[in-house]
Chains A and B, each alone.
Chain A
C-alpha cells in the first residue's frame, strides 16, 4: 500500500467520523424537537483515555463524548442507561471502533460527574 493511499484513507476516515457525528447530532436534534427524547444529546470528539487504546485508535482524539443537555446533574443510573443503549448497538460500536474511537464518555451539561467505557470490550458481543 502506497503512502498516497494511506493519506487518502486517512482523509476518508476523517470524513466518515465527521459524517457519523453529524448524523448523530441531527437525529438527536430531531428526536428532541419531535418529543421522542425529553433531553437533547450532543456528540463531540474528546481526547479519550490512553489506557483504552487499540490498533484502530486515533492518535489524538479517540474519545466519543456525549453531552446530555438536561439542565441538572443526572444520576449514575440515568447516565449508565444511555451508555448501555449506545453499547448495546453492535453496529454503532463497531463503527466507532474502526473509525478510531476507543472511549465512550457520557456527561451532562451540569456538574462534573460522568461515566466512561472502553469500546473494545463491547465490540463483538454487544452489551451483556
Chain B
C-alpha cells in the first residue's frame, strides 16, 4: 500500500525560513562586534598594564633589599625613651662650655640623637661617642 508523505528536507527548510527574520541576524552581529571591541581593548590595556607591572616589580625588588633588625625594634620600643632622657642631659652642648670644639661635636651628637630619638642602636652608638668626648673633659658627665 502506498503512503503519501511530505518531503521532509523541503518542509524543514521552509520551517527554518519562516522562523528566521532579520532581527536575530542583527543581534548576533552586534554581539560579535562588541566581543571584538572588548578583545581589542583588553589587548591594549594588557600592554599598558605590563609596562606598569614591570616598573612596580623593579621598585619592589629595590625595596625588598636590606636586613630588618627586629631585636633593635623591640629594644627601641621599650628602652629608647629612657636612653634618650639620659643622653639628652649628658650630651647637652652647654655642659662642654667654654670649649668651642667640644661644644660643636656635642651639638652634632645632640642633633643626631634627636633625629634617632626612637632608634636604640643608633643612640647607643652616639652614647659611645659622647663618652669619648667627655673622657677628655674636666667635667664629669
Binding site for B on A (CB under 8 A): 1, 6, 9, 16, 20, 23-24, 27-28, 31, 36-39, 41, 55-56, 81-82, 84-86, 88-89, 91-92, 94-95, 97-98, 127-128
Contacts and interface: CB of A to CB of B under 8 A. Distances in A.
Given A81-B118, A95-B64, A95-B68, A27 B74 contact: yes
18 contacts: A1-B53, A1-B54, A23-B70, A27-B73, A28-B74, A36-B71, A36-B79, A81-B80, A82-B77, A85-B73, A86-B77, A88-B116, A88-B117, A88-B119, A89-B72, A91-B66, A98-B60, A128-B115
B76 interface: yes
A91 B60 CA distance: 12
A41 B64 CA distance: 23
Interface string B117-135: 1110000000000000000
A41 B81 CA distance: 18
Interface string B67-101: 11011111111111100000000000000000000
* Chain B at the A interface: SS class: helix
A35 B124 CA distance: 18
A23 B76 CA distance: 17
A31 to B, nearest CB: 4
Contact of B70 (A27, A81, A82, A97): A27
B27 interface: no
Interface string B97-118: 0000000000000000001111
Interface of B: 50, 53-54, 56-57, 59-60, 63-64, 66-68, 70-81, 115-119
B60 A56 contact: yes
Given A85-B76, A85-B118, A98-B64, A56 B71 contact: no
B71 A27 contact: yes
A80 to B, nearest CB: 10
A36 B75 CA distance: 6
Given A91-B68, A92-B68, A97 B77 contact: no
